[in-house]
A and B are shown apart, each in its own frame.
Chain A
């Protein structure tokens, strides 16, 4: 640190004035921005808590469902987690594979083209994905769902009767997967491209094939970055409102992924918020608070996973 802050003797006379003023302005601005973020976050959290309070003090019978907030929120928390889990299970391996293909396998021209396409996909608004999922994908999935119900129906998650519209939590999860895929792929690609050439060459020089080289020198280096990319994807999947609201024909919590039913927090809020008032409004805000906490928890777990391997991260 002292090397950076101590002015070099020669530069001292010439640059000290403007350089120091610039430093002060910048550190002031940085501090201000930092404080602002904390204040805004705190204000949002306070707002949510205050607005949600009536829900927690209300009589259980007055809450939607009539059995208190916990039994109201539980099914939609589970629904949210199921949809997000489906999305990640599908999108993580594909996203990593796409990223690796772009960074380490595709010829240069093709890699650039694919990179653009992936970035473009990430920029498509969610309502477009939702419309596509509701009108096209759901219809395409009716037959496969019927097949699953007929052949694998003994597994609870594929229990029949299959939805006649295809608008199920599985469809919503798939649409979410398509939405988070470009996020994961594009972040993972950036990280794979930064894997040090030094170590990749070390692996190749030992007689590693390209895939072995990737396993030795690219994936371990990218581990933390991949987790961050997946977490960002998860953030989007958890908070996605429009796509799920359009694609899912919601209902009570059920184990089967191929029947209509289930609901996510974000979609519930989006669908009911416009007509909500009074206690119902407070309930929805409390639900939002729960979503906020889930996201926070997920991020903390991710940070913990990343920090656990610091010693071997190559940062030292």
Chain B
């Protein structure tokens, strides 16, 4: 239930604009990898290429390879819909479906794949996913209520529950805490620590303490100037990136000198 991702020679475009250039990186299974870097350097853009969400934007395209345990996600004949059902995503702003109950939100992805599911199985899956997202105790008495009635942090955990309900191989998170208060942020960080026992987790964050707290490895992206493509500058164990980086710009960034 957890796979490795190998990215080779990846260029990411918005129409003619090269947003991210020549990324080569390996994201280990059952580990947390953090992407850090100044805003606009292409962290979100790169993250969205890992589950083929990038191409949802008109004119957006990708060159290069992304291998999920050896299978190229961008090979001819690969259906992006299948890719996305294997690689879950949690967004910057919590986005539970407002027209669905909490229960239906959790089941939203599952219902896409298997039309009919016995109610007892569904109940079990809802409980398991919500427990997995540390949300069960808070919502077990109001599963039929709309998800939009929860607090921001709860909504974000609901989105995580929705993502893990389909048993993905990988979970991508794009600044999942940036819209949350410190306490909700801690709850999510604890959760990320638990998730890596089962999933490959990739998290974009602008908060360096967060990267240091939750990740095993950290990738630093940077951009030479506006209009220039973002690049992967350095990728190493999180401790190395923060204490002993090999690149000058990494050191400048993690020590808070820019960005």
Q: Which residues does A use to contact B, with CB under 8 Å?
A: 108, 196, 198-199, 201-209, 212, 216-217, 220-221, 223, 309, 311-314, 316
Contact = CB atoms under 8 A, between A and B. Distances in A.
Contacts of A313: 98-99
Interface string B113-124: 100000000000
Interface string B90-122: 010101111111000000110011000000000
B27 interface: no
The 4 closest A-B pairs by CB, nearest first: A207-B85, A314-B98, A220-B99, A206-B109
Contact of B84 (A196, A205, A223): A205
Given A108-B58, A206-B163, A217-B97, 17 more contacts: A199-B97, A199-B98, A201-B56, A202-B96, A203-B97, A205-B84, A205-B89, A205-B91, A207-B82, A207-B109, A208-B112, A216-B97, A220-B100, A311-B145, A311-B146, A316-B146, A316-B148
B88 interface: yes
A198 B109 contact: no
9 contacts: A202-B91, A202-B95, A202-B162, A204-B53, A204-B84, A207-B85, A207-B113, A314-B148, A316-B148
A206 B85 contact: yes
A108 B93 CA distance: 27
Contacts of B148: 314, 316
A312 B85 CA distance: 26
Given A201-B91, A202-B91, A205-B88, A212 B112 contact: yes
A198 B95 contact: yes
Contact of A216 (B56, B108, B149, B159): B108
B166 interface: yes
A65 to B, nearest CB: 50
B51 interface: yes
Main secondary structure of the interface of A (DSSP, over half): helix
Interface in B148-188: 148-149, 159, 162-163, 166
Q: Identify which of B88, B148, B159 gathers the most chain A CB atoms within 10 Å of its CB.
A: B148
Contacts of B163: 205-206
B144 to A, nearest CB: 10
Most A CB contacts (10 A, CB to CB) among B85, B88, B97, B100 go to: B97
B224 interface: no
B98 A207 contact: no
Interface of B: 51, 53, 56, 58, 81-82, 84-86, 88-89, 91, 93, 95-101, 108-109, 112-113, 145-146, 148-149, 159, 162-163, 166
Contacts of A309: 99
A209 B166 CA distance: 15
A95 B162 CA distance: 33
B187 to A, nearest CB: 20
A311 B149 CA distance: 9
A223 B100 CA distance: 13
A206 B98 CA distance: 16
Contacts of A201: 53, 56, 91, 95
Nearest to A196: B95
A206 B82 CA distance: 9
Contacts of B91: 198, 201-202, 205
Contacts of B89: 205
A194 to B, nearest CB: 13
A247 B163 CA distance: 56
Nearest to A107: B58
Nearest to A215: B112
A141 to B, nearest CB: 41
Contacts of B100: 220, 312
Contacts of A316: 146, 148-149
A32 B58 CA distance: 47
A217 B162 CA distance: 15
A207 B84 contact: yes
A306 to B, nearest CB: 13
A204 B88 CA distance: 10
A209 B79 CA distance: 10
Contacts of B99: 220-221, 223, 309, 312-314
A312 B89 CA distance: 23
B179 to A, nearest CB: 11
Contacts of B85: 206-207
Interface centre among B82, B109, B113 (most CB of A within 10 A): B109
